[in-house]
């Protein structure tokens, strides 16, 4: 299975889990019932200021069963950052997955905009297909936003209540406000995506510092021993979803790098499978020079056989 497909699968799994967080009561504050759910445990604020708890009505139990699992997730983040860098941002983050779905839609809309201009100038017959697919894309964007808005509204409204309103098509003003706010947040976050991932996302920030300071963290490396084989095609730069220069990572880790590996795949498309110049590596050490010399020699041989030239 290719790296790209594998990443799409892990991203889809992360997105599905995130959408189900409210429905599974992993994290939810139901505003109307004033009940807090953490890791499946209920904490209800009664009007008299007393509380009810699903963890045997015991605050200590609630702390252990409800709060502790989330605390463990947060505590593990710096450790993860020090070992695998921001790998989880690139491979599991649901927000990143939403960004990449939005990128897909944006690319589709580029053709649509061009066709729309042609259409207005009376020359749209040639691109009817693009116009149709553009309209489908706009429809898909609206539907995806509504679905994401409905799921994430579950953080504040009970999922059963959301389902009741959707199935009866009777929407309360509160649901409309929460849903619209969630959709606006998704759009805003996408617009400021790089700043969001670098400076706003608590998960990302918690992993970034250990990632950068750890001498052993997983990072993207450029094989300097085979640097002469680089065709300077720029594929790796264009593939980078965080808009950074993957080849420069050897000199200094870029804290924005989410170890998604898209640059590695892009380089393999240029150089051939398993012959890319970019690769994952732990720490800042150089690739085994012996192995690299072998790879270079075999590549030179392959290029000679195919009549290609080394730049
Ligand atoms: S440098 Fe490579 S691994 Fe890092 S974010 Fe860019 S494409 Fe992903
Ligand atoms: S994709 Fe590979 S060959 Fe192309 S510029 Fe990047 S490192 Fe060089």
Report the pLDDT value the prediction gives residue 300, as an integer from 0 to 100.
44
Pick the residue whose CA is nearest to atom 4 on ligand 2. 233
User: For 162, how many CA atoms within 13 A lie in the half-sphere containing its CB?
Assistant: 23
Q: What is the pTM of this model?
A: 0.76
Above 50 in pLDDT, residue 193? yes
Compute the Cα dihedral for 81, 87, 91, 96 and give only its sign: positive
Task: Read off the pLDDT of each residue in 23-29 and give the average, rounded to a whole number.
Answer: 87
Task: Name the residue with higher pLDDT: 205 or 53.
Answer: 205
Which pLDDT score is estimated for 48?
57
Ligand 1 neighbour 267 (Cβ under 6 A): no
Determine the pLDDT at residue 230.
93
Kindly report the average pLDDT of the chain as a whole number.
82
230 CA distance to ligand 2 middle (Å): 5
CB 233 within 8 A of CB 311: no
The two tokens of residue 24 are 């599974």
pLDDT in tens, 90-131: 999 998 898 888 888 888 777 777 777 777 776 666 677 777
Centroid of ligand 2 to alpha carbon of 261 (angstroms): 13
Distance 269 CA to ligand 2 centre (A): 9
In angstroms, what is the span from residue 1 Cα to ligand 2's centroid?
23
Q: Kindly tell me the sign of the dihedral angle through the C-alpha atoms of 9, 13, 14, 15.
A: positive
**For the purposes of burial, counting CB atoms within 10 Å of the CB of 285, is it exposed (0-12), middle (13-18) or buried (19 or more)?**
exposed
Residue with CA at minimum distance from ligand 2 atom 5? 232
Q: Which pLDDT does position 79 carry in this prediction?
A: 93
Atom of ligand 2 nearest to the CA of 235: 1
State the pLDDT at residue 299: 47
Indicate if the pLDDT at residue 307 is higher than 70. no
- Whole-number percent of the chain with pLDDT over 70: 85
Q: Is the CB of 197 under 6 A from ligand 1?
A: no
Please give the number of the atom of ligand 1 that sits closest to the Cα of 220: 3
pLDDT digits (tens, 9 = 90+) for 127-163: 777 777 778 888 888 888 888 888 888 889 888 888 9
Question: Which pLDDT band, with edges at 50, 70 and 90, does 36 fall under?
Answer: confident
Residue nearest to atom 6 of ligand 1 (CA): 240
Reference 277, options 296, 260, 253; nearest CA is 296
All residues at 6 or more sequence positions from 256 whose CB lies less than 8 Å from its CB, including other chains = 194, 197, 198, 242, 243, 244
115/124 Cα distance (integer angstroms): 6
Query: Average pLDDT, stretch 35-53?
Result: 71
Tally Cβ neighbours within 10 Å of residue 75: 11
How much helix, strand and coil, in percent to the nearest 5, is found in the chain?
A: 65, 10, 30
Decide whether any atom of ligand 2 lies within 6 Å of the 272 Cβ.
no
């Amino acid at each position: 299975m290719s790296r790209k497909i594998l990443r799409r699968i892990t991203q889809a799994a992360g997105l599905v889990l995130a959408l189900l967080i409210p429905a599974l009561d992993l994290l939810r504050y139901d505003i109307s019932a004033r009940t807090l759910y953490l890791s499946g445990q209920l904490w209800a604020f009664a009007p008299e200021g007393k509380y009810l708890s699903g963890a045997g009505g015991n605050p200590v139990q609630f702390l252990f069963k409800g709060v502790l699992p989330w605390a463990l997730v947060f505590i593990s983040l710096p450790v993860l950052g020090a070992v695998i860098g921001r790998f989880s941002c690139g491979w599991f983050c649901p927000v990143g997955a939403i960004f990449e779905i939005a990128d897909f839609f944006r690319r589709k809309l580029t053709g649509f905009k061009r066709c729309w201009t042609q259409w207005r100038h009376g020359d749209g017959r040639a691109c009817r297909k693009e116009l149709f697919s553009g309209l489908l894309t706009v429809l898909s964007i609206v539907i995806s936003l509504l679905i994401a808005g409905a799921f994430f509204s579950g953080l504040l409204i009970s999922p059963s209540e959301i389902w009741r309103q959707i199935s009866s098509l009777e929407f309360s003003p509160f649901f409309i406000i929460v849903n619209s706010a969630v959709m606006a947040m998704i759009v805003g976050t996408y617009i400021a995506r790089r700043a969001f991932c670098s400076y706003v996302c608590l998960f990302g920030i918690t992993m970034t510092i250990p990632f950068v300071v750890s001498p052993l963290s997983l990072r993207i490396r450029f094989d300097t021993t085979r640097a002469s084989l680089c065709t300077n095609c720029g594929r790796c730069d264009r593939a980078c979803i965080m808009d950074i220069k993957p080849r420069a990572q050897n000199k200094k880790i870029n804290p924005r790098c989410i170890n998604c590996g898209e640059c590695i795949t892009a380089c393999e498309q240029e150089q051939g499978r398993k012959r890319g110049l970019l690769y994952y590596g732990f720490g800042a050490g150089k690739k085994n020079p012996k192995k690299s010399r072998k790879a270079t020699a075999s590549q030179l041989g392959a290029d000679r056989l195919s009549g290609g030239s080394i730049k």
